[in-house]
Amino acid sequence: MKNISKILTFHRQFYRSSRRSGVFRNINIVKYFHVKMQNISKQCRFFLKQKKRYCRMTVKEENTYCGEHMEISEGHKNSNGSKSLHTRIKCPLDNSHTCYESKLAKHLRVCNAKRLIDANPEYIVNGINRGDVHLDSPQHIPLSNLDQSVIASVIKKVEIAYDKLPVIKELILQHDILDAEINNPDYGNNTKKHLIQNSSLLGHLVRAKLIQENTCFIEFGAGKGKLTYWLAKVIDNHIKGSTILLVDRSSHRHKNDNKLRNKQFPVNLIRIRADIADLSLNKIDAVMQSQYKVGIAKHLCGAATDLMIRCLRQLKEVSTVDGLVAAFCCHHRCDYVSYVGKQYLKNCGILPEEFPILCSIASWATCGTPKTRNDLHSQNKFELDERESIGRKVKALLNWGRIEYLSSIGFDSHLYHYIKSEVSLENVCVVATRVKA
């Protein structure tokens, strides 16, 4: 509350003094500070540490926080100890959003997630790709709660297994369809890094000869469909009979596939909302009617990568799957039940109960430290570099387990550094093609 008061006071004084002195002759700047001063008291007071600012969501006059941050900031009780009517809980149908506990019954009647469940499309088969569901998932314990000797034992196993792995080759490709966009001087680094990644992934699709006529491309975890957008431009009029199926469990605004539809691209675009764990591709007509099937994904998080591989294997049992190009991401979010490389880890001497430790260590490769490298002492710099190195080795092991699994089901699979680490620390992709008899 004190911080908000200070901000309000600053804006008020700055606005008044600026008008008196005539410093701001641009009326738009004056309007900005006037609106800012009026609206800041109406916005959520929850401070976002990572973004170093307050949440910008507007709130009701009697509330201090917006709906999403009310649960975090105000707890579940009133000041007199009684249970609050404004307590927010995670929706039991979709935990990506919250609702008032007192209005839960009403919310469940209108929740979009319920509409999807009620629709019950044929291609949704509950848990079909979840993996070994009879297994108990090992309990996750924070590394800070573990004895250092336990962590050291796992790291030793990682070091031994990693030394036996082949070096991952760097193969950075580029597709000329994105050359003009990548070289656009108006774009910032954040925009360019995604263009560079998409360009290299498209280059790998071309190199693996996976772009051909009468192909159904399945983009897993499609999000806003940026990879699909550029793939459709590559296909355009040159490759006939192509379909792109976009799969995502969430609904997104400003989807790029809508732009393609508006421009009437000669590509059959289908978007479905589904969890990959429950997706049966052989029950989608557009997939089965295509001669070739290819999976694609850019930064599919953790367990979703394994679900994708299982989904393609399940399709492979009734049809042919010609290949897969996917960029890995977020190994700390892997799940032992769905992970496809269990046999490989077993061969490395890594026990099931050590899998959560492995995933936690994987985060060392990308999580960094709150301090900048200039603020660290030389000893701490060494420790940070060593942690990052161990984290990358764990990621390599988890990725290799997937390669071994893909090989066992009939794919010729390779790992590549498809972009520089300066573009993204998650710079490894898998390229798998069907082994032809």
pLDDT tens for 46-59 read 888 888 888 988 88
Q: Does the pLDDT value for residue 361 go beyond 90?
A: yes
Q: What pLDDT was estimated at residue 429?
A: 97
C-alpha to C-alpha distance for 170 and 428, rounded to whole angstroms: 9
Q: Does the pLDDT value for residue 117 go beyond 80?
A: no
Residue pLDDT, tens place only, 242-258:
999 999 988 888 888 88
- Dihedral of alpha carbons 399, 404, 409, 412, sign: positive
* Structural contact between residues 299 and 275, judged by C-beta atoms closer than 8 angstroms: no
Q: What pLDDT was estimated at residue 84?
A: 56
Residue pLDDT, tens place only, 285-343:
999 999 999 999 999 989 999 999 999 999 999 999 999 999 999 999 999 999 999 99
Q: Which amino acid is at 198?
A: N
Across residues 148-170, what is the average pLDDT? 95
Torsional class of 117: left (φ above 0), alpha (ψ -120 to 50), beta (otherwise): alpha
Q: What pLDDT was estimated at residue 390?
A: 95
More confident residue, 75 or 359: 359
Q: What pLDDT was estimated at residue 18?
A: 54
CA atoms within 13 A on the CB side of 386: 8
Both tokens assigned to 95: 């935990």
Q: What pLDDT was estimated at residue 19?
A: 52
C-alpha to C-alpha distance for 93 and 275, rounded to whole angstroms: 13
Assigned fold of 143-434: Rossmann fold (3.40.50)
Q: What pLDDT was estimated at residue 348?
A: 95
Residues of the chain with CATH 3.40.50.150: 143-434
CA distances from 140 to 144, 341, 342, 349, 351 (A): 12, 19, 17, 19, 14
